[in-house]
Structures are given as structure tokens and as C-alpha cells.
Chains A and B, each alone.
Chain A
Amino acid sequence: MKNTKLYLEDLSCPDCANKIQKVLNKTEGVKNAEVHFSTGKANVEYDEQEVSIEEMKDAVSTTGYQVIRVR
């Protein structure tokens, strides 16, 4: 299990944060994702054997938002 922080492009409403959180949590290999509207950030706990950071970025982009920084 690994933890990462995905910084999203500026969210325009709290609703978008919920949306992205649900999408990430339904991505295979993601153990737990929490998206915060206030910091525009996703804290993700994931299994690096099952999912890559790139795949998580792709999942996020289906919601119409992009990941701009990873830490």
C-alpha cells in the first residue's frame, strides 16, 4: 500500500470534489480516496501492484478535471 497526493486543477464547486472522490474510489487498486474541495487535493491510498499514478490521473480526467501535481 502506498499513499499519494494528487493536486487537482481548481475545482469550481464542492460537488465536483464529491464527484472525483466517488470516481477514484471506484477505480480498481484504490483502497481509499478522499478529495477535499478546500485544498483541491485527493489523498489516495492505493496498491501500487494494481494501479499506477497514471491510471489514477486518467480516472480523474473522466470527470472533466486534470491532475496538475503529484506529491
Chain B
Amino acid sequence: MTTTRRSLLAGAALAAGLALTPAFGQSPTEIELFFPVPVDGQLARDMATMIKEFNEGHPAIKVTPVYTGSYDETLIKTRAAMKAGKPPAVSIMSANFLRDLQIENEIQPLDALIKADGKSNDQFMGQFFPALYGNAVLDRSVYGVPFHNSTPLLYINAEHFKEAGLDPENPPKTWAEFAAAAAKLTRREGDRTTRWGIAIPSQYDTGGWLLQALTYSNGGRWFNVDYAGEVYYDEPSTLGALTFWSDLVKSKVLQPGVQQGGAVTTAFLSGQASMMLNSTGSLTFVRGNAKFPLKVAFVPRNLQNQVPIGGASLVIPTGVEGERRQAAWTLINWMTSPEKSGWWSRATGYFAPNMQAYQLPEMKVFLGKNPDAKVAVDQLAYARPWFATYKTVPVRKAIEDELAQVLSGKKSPKEALVAAQKNADEIMKPYVEQTALKLPSN
């Protein structure tokens, strides 16, 4: 069905180009889309293909896809371009940057555009998984449209499981089973560990995300979803999560020190680690490169199944007006439609934020062949928003720096959390003073 429509459109465009010279004297609205490449280079090519298709179907708009490096570099480039008075019409932003960008007035609310389409905000957001609202709807206004999203997953090497006498069809569900499996899977030669039971990325960004996941699984709240000036670092639920993580190092089933995402994936793929916690965003790459039967499962729980979402949203920077804004909106709606959303999901491993994507026949066929992709979607029932506060990155770094010290054996979990809370509060103080503590008189 899709193919037919696509070739029809292409055919029409071609015919128009050959014979009619369309939109005489009217040049198309030119807009740019800034996009980071989340996993590997193949996706940069996929993005180009997708935009080409959009341009063919929309002769009045010409979108240029601009590759902008990592998520961080995309943020630098977007901000620099805005300062230079050349904001891109659309940017794909890490979903947890949105709160900051909104506080600093750097992205615009999309409410008016939604209204012009005859929808209410609730109707518009209704097409997406509810877990995604918290990072897209800020102060009741829609600031971002979810494009590709993730949750953390437990990846297991089924071969190692069998070898260690564990059942790969029945992956660890609780922290106790998780730690026990990790111990059974670890291999040592004398003092040297030749295979780690578990690998968990703990570098900046991912470290905070996964500690949030463990804290959620431990019944915690991590941050105040409704107010940008509060985090819950020094709380029993967080202490339990951090202590659990640090105990994995102490019992020598997890390598000490900080581990980078790439290193973790490589260790897992080469059989040097039997399990890993990692983003669904890596799923397609891992599935394509694993030389062993792969299984994925929910993040193990202590008190409850609950994880934060991750991924990125489409935003329109402040200063994009008129025709360019309208064109940006057309592009955003097209990219987040069930069809495109589903296609991108299959290419990357991210889940499709648009729920309708999972009703399409091609998606059903895909999930039939790759049941692991369904796990991430099922876990969404237990997902909550991603960490986002006033000055998200430094507030997150406050706990990630402490996490690094705990994993390197330099601090106890309790000391670390007290320090993290103090630093985070210090960073958020100016905001708190101007909001929650700004009281009438005096």
C-alpha cells in the first residue's frame, strides 16, 4: 500500500517536472532540519532517504537535512545558529533538553499550530504513548513532538545463559535474580576476570539515565515531573539503587570505574560480558551484529517495574515564523505519522512514539519476525518521563560525578548522594528562589 502511494507520488512529481513546470514563479519554502545521528552512520543515510521522499511529495517545501554530530553538538549548533540569526526550522533534540530550552525561551510552543489544525493539545498528544507526555508538554503547552524514543532494556547472551545453567527463556526479573545470574555468568582466571556477568554504561548522560531507571525500579521518584527545581537524590530509594549498582562492582561481576556505551556494546557483542543494560536505541545494531542468540527483557525490579523514557523530539526554535514555521509543522507531522514513525523505528530499534504505528500491517510482520522489538513497547506501560530540570545537564552531572566515584571505590553511596543533592540544590537555587520561594511581600 505504502509502496504504491510512494511510487504514485514519485511518478506525479516526475511528470510534473517533465511536462508542467509546476508552481510557476513560486519557489518552494526552504527549511533545514538539524539532526544528530543516534547510533551509527547508516542512519544518516536513512535520514537522507526519508527527507528525499518528503521533498518529492511536497513540491512547495524543500527540506535540507543537516547532519549535526552528536546530541550535544546538535544543541551547540542549534544555539549558535540562533545567535547568528539563522535558526533551523526544525531540530531533533534530546528529549531532556526541552525543559531547559523552554525556560530560556529558545523553542516555541506549538499550541497555535495544533489549534489551527482543529485539534486540542490533548487530542494531538493522544496519538503518542502517554509515557512521552512529560518530556514534550511543559506547563500545559506542547513544546516538542516525540520522534524516536527509547527505554533501557536488559540484553542477554542466551548462549552464555545455557552454558551457566540458566534459562534464557526466563531472564532475571528481580534484582536478586539479576545479581545471582551475574555471579553465575562471570568467569575468572585467578585474579583476572575474563568475562563479566553484567556491563552497565555509566558515562555522562547514560549513567544518570540508568541510575534513574534503577531508582524507579526501587519505587523512587528521582525528580519532580511537575516542577523544574527539585530532585530526589538523597532518598532511600536512590540510596538502594546506587548501593545495588555499587555492590555489583564489589562482588566482581561488574567492572569497576566508568564504562562508556560503546565499550559496553562492544564487550557484549564480543562475548566479554554476558548481560548488559542499554538503550532500545541500540537494538537494531546489536541484533545485526550479535553472533549468538540474543534475548531482551525488562529492566529487573526491586519493588516495581518502572523505567524512564529516552530519545529525542522534534522542536521549532524561537524566531522561526510564517511560511517557514508552517513548512516546519508540515514536516514534523509527516515525520511523526504512523507510517514514517514505524519505518524509522524498524531502522533504528527506537520504538515508534506514535501508537498507530503498531497497527500497521508492515509493523505487525516485523514484530512477528523480531519479537524482541516488542519488549520495549510492552515496557512502555511502565515508563515515566526522563529527567529534566532547570539546567538539566549540570544537575544530572552532579549525580553522575558521584556515581563515577562510587563505581571507582572512592566514596560510599551515602556520602555520594549527600554531595550530589547538595550540588544539585546549589545549581537550581536561582530558579527556586525566583519560583517556589518567591513569596508575596518581602
Do A and B truly interact? no
- What residues of chain A have their CB less than 8 Å away from a CB belonging to chain B? none
